[in-house]
Chains A and B, each alone.
Chain A
Amino acid sequence: MSTLADILVQGVLLGGLYTISALGLSLVFGVMRLVNLSHGDLMIAAVYLALAFSFGSPEVNAVLLILVAVAFAPIGYALQRLLLNQVLDPDPLRPLLVTFGLSIVLQNLFLLSFSADTQRLRIDALTEAVVSSGAVSFGALDALILVTAIGLAFGLQTIFFHTKLGRRLRAASDDSSTLGLMGLNWRHVFGLASAIAFVVIAIAGLLLALRSNVDPFSGPSRLLVAFEAVIIGGLGSFWGTLLGAMLIGIAQVVAGTIDPGWQSLGGHLVFLVILALRPQGLMPRVAQ
């Protein structure tokens, strides 16, 4: 029943979904080297913020969603300056614990404020439309997610390699303590990076909730695949993250076709194989 083309299309669409969840992390983990375990919960936070703006109604429109994404920028800047910059450390333990603490706090705040019920967002024109061409057909929303993922990867890669801010980010990623000698405050630079990352995180969360139900605890399930995509893609490369997410998506669909129970396992095995062959990832920023 599943043709090869169908498997590939489904894999790429799933890869698009994983890309979008991983790009924010790629900036935070790949560039700032911050292990953010609350990444998934922050995606969910964007969904609850949208619900709060729409007074609890799942019917939303594009303007509201853009508003939420923009509102996430100052939140990201503030969180970075007030909390995350304090624990940046080559030893992963401090960021790990602080962001895990943040994750628990966020989940339980969601639970207290919005109950354990599943929630979702709806834009009818988008959620129900289907694109079909020949043998393969897929939802318009999945297509939008894929296009957004590619667009964001392109945008981030451009910012990172071709702008003044990107130059500062790369320098800070190399050696944040020397940045001060250039007259730049690394704390501010990382704050700006986080502001951008948070906009991407919000977009990811909102698209996710348009596609499927979320509840206060659905954040962490998005986390591991995102980390895997960033690591096998190579730290500091957004195209690498996209490639990593695509490979995981395709591997999952292929494994799932063989036996539905093995779907997730397929992705993890690809992660292990690529790590064994290229521990630095597929497209690392700095040649090793």
Chain B
Amino acid sequence: MSLLELEGVEAFYGDFQALFGVGLSLDEGECLGLVGSNGAGKSTLMRTIVGAHDGVVRGHLRFDGGELPHHEPHKAVGLGLALVPEGRKLFRSLTVEENLLLAEEAGRKGQWTLARVNELFPILKEFAKRPATRLSGGQQQMVAIGRALLSNPRLLLCDELSLGLAPIVIKDIYASLEKVRSEGTSLLVVEQDVEAARRVSDHLVCMRSGRVVLSGSSDELSAGQVTAAYFGTEAA
């Protein structure tokens, strides 16, 4: 049975419709890559899944067989979903350690503890007492991932982890995601960079203008197919 299953999902910003009948499914232990250009609706979809989209939401969002609540992200965390949001969204007046503690105290209990996150990202222990937003971009991204892991999610959603980071830092971060996955956490990874997404994922979904336009195994889809779907040139 799929861990996450979406069917006919629509989302609105006021009168503006951002998602049109989106459907996808993700199995336990799988890593799904979600690609698409700016404005394709990827971030809206991620926020909709965890209940953090403020506008109207329609359609079915099932997680482990149950319907996910709309507009109540704190409940989604309790069910085992965690989002590393676009732009990281660290609490600026909290220290690194306080950002992590906040998530640890409120989230599900499990194998991920503050000590284990510090083991995964040793730099976070070193900078524990610094204000979170004084760190470099890559280090901030580590805080954001660590924060999400501390709620011990069954499914970790990552929204554009690589945005604005140097290639070497991106490599490190994706290496740490492999570790996370090897411990049994399923992943849903949004990327603008198609190649990065293909490397980490088992399954690839491409979105354009709020719709799923291509879906298939990451190994089997050709680069040409993905590029055509990405830019909307498949008809030409």
A–B touching in complex (CB under 8 Å): yes
A residues apposed to B, CB below 8 Å: 164, 167-168, 170-171, 173-175, 177-185, 236, 285-286
Per-position binary interface string of chain B over residues 13-28, scored 1 when its CB falls under 8 Å from any chain A CB and 0 otherwise: 0000000000000000
18 other A-B residue contacts (CB within 8 Å) besides A171-B94, A175-B91, A182-B77:
A164-B105, A168-B102, A170-B94, A171-B102, A178-B85, A180-B52, A181-B73, A181-B77, A181-B85, A181-B148, A182-B102, A182-B107, A183-B78, A183-B103, A183-B108, A285-B93, A286-B92, A286-B93
B residues apposed to A, CB below 8 Å: 50-52, 54, 72-74, 77-78, 82-83, 85, 89, 91-94, 98-99, 101-103, 105-108, 147-148, 151
In whole Å, how far is B68's beta carbon from the nearest beta carbon of chain A? Answer: 13
Please list 28 pairs of residues, one from A and one from B, whose beta carbons are closer than 8 Å in the complex, sorted by A's number. A167-B101, A167-B102, A170-B98, A171-B91, A171-B94, A171-B102, A173-B93, A174-B93, A174-B94, A177-B54, A180-B52, A180-B72, A180-B73, A181-B52, A181-B77, A181-B83, A182-B74, A182-B77, A182-B106, A182-B107, A183-B74, A183-B103, A183-B106, A184-B74, A185-B74, A236-B93, A286-B92, A286-B93
Q: Measured between alpha carbons, how far is A181 from B105 in the docked complex, in Å? A: 13
A177 and B52 in contact (CB under 8 A), knowing A182-B77, A183-B78? Answer: yes
In whole Å, how far is B115's beta carbon from the nearest beta carbon of chain A? Answer: 18
Q: Measured between alpha carbons, how far is A182 from B89 in the docked complex, in Å? A: 11
Q: Measured between alpha carbons, how far is A286 from B151 in the docked complex, in Å? A: 27
Interface of A is mostly: helix
CB < 8 Å neighbour of B147 from A175, A177, A182, A185 = A182
In whole Å, how far is A135's beta carbon from the nearest beta carbon of chain B? Answer: 45
Contact (Cβ within 8 A) B82 A174: no
A-side contacts of B99, CB under 8 Å: 171
A-side contacts of B82, CB under 8 Å: 181
Contact (Cβ within 8 A) A170 B91: yes
A182 and B103 in contact (CB under 8 A), knowing A167-B98, A177-B52? Answer: yes
